[in-house]
Amino acid sequence: MRFFVLTTCICFAAAAYQPIQPAKVTHAPPSSPVKSSGSDVDAPVLRSDIDVKPDGYDYAYETGNGISASAVGTLKNVDNIDALVSQGSYHYVAPDGTPVNVEYVADENGYQPNSDILPTPPPVPPAILRALEYLAAHPPAEEKTLPTKFVSLG
């Protein structure tokens, strides 16, 4: 009986088997390469300076399509540990023609970019501002704690 059940299961599995067809992937034909705006693919490197030292680095580059970047990295002692601190900037023109300039610092406080293109938080609602002003003008009274008396048991 076991043989019959096993044989039946194998037959059903074989009948239900359908080979998996590989997904069809389409590629751009070689005669028409995909290019981003401003022909970034073919942009020449106009300048590339790199200086790596034991205590840091310094690099700068510029390409023919207006992309440029520069950074300086130095060692900084943070809590008795040498950490690499980086400060730099990069510039490019967005596809809609907007110039993008980003300056940044990366240190023990994390990556801190600064740019006009970065989103900013919405303004604080007036009711919240009034509540904050009220709390600043009326700080809570200090809580008085009762003295604690310890009793020796020995």
Cβ–Cβ < 8 Å for 105, 86: yes
Q: Does the residue 87 lie in any domain?
A: yes
In the chain the first and final C-alpha atoms are separated, in Å, by: 81
What single-letter DSSP state applies at residue 30?
T
Task: Say which residue the tokens 């106009």 belong to.
Answer: 46
Please check the confidence at residue 27 and state whether its pLDDT lies above 80.
no
pLDDT at 32: 34
Structure tokens at 138: 């009326």
Least confident of 15-29, 103-117, 120-134: 15-29
Domain residues for 102? 40-135
Q: Does the residue 59 lie in any domain?
A: yes
Please check the confidence at residue 106 and state whether its pLDDT lies above 90.
yes
Sheet-wide strand order for 99-107 = 45-53, 56-63, 68-78, 81-93, 99-107, 110-114
> Most distant CA pair in the chain: distance in Å?
96
Domain tally for the chain?
A: 1
Residue 128 phi/psi, 5-degree rounding, is -70, -40
pLDDT at 134: 93
Q: Does the residue 113 lie in any domain?
A: yes
pLDDT at 59: 95
Q: Does the residue 3 lie in any domain?
A: no
What single-letter DSSP state applies at residue 78?
E
Residue 114, C-beta contacts closer than 8 angstroms, at least 6 positions apart:
102, 103, 104
Q: Does the residue 141 lie in any domain?
A: no
d(CA 77, CA 84): 9
d(CA 31, CA 138): 73
What single-letter DSSP state applies at residue 138?
S
Give residue-wise pLDDT tens across range 73-88. 999 988 888 889 999 9
Please check the confidence at residue 151 and state whether its pLDDT lies above 60.
yes
Give residue-wise pLDDT tens across range 5-22. 555 556 555 555 555 544
User: Residues 15-40: what's their mean pLDDT?
Assistant: 46
Higher per-residue pLDDT: 39 or 97: 97
Q: Does the residue 29 lie in any domain?
A: no
Q: Does the residue 111 lie in any domain?
A: yes
**Helix/strand/coil for 150:** coil
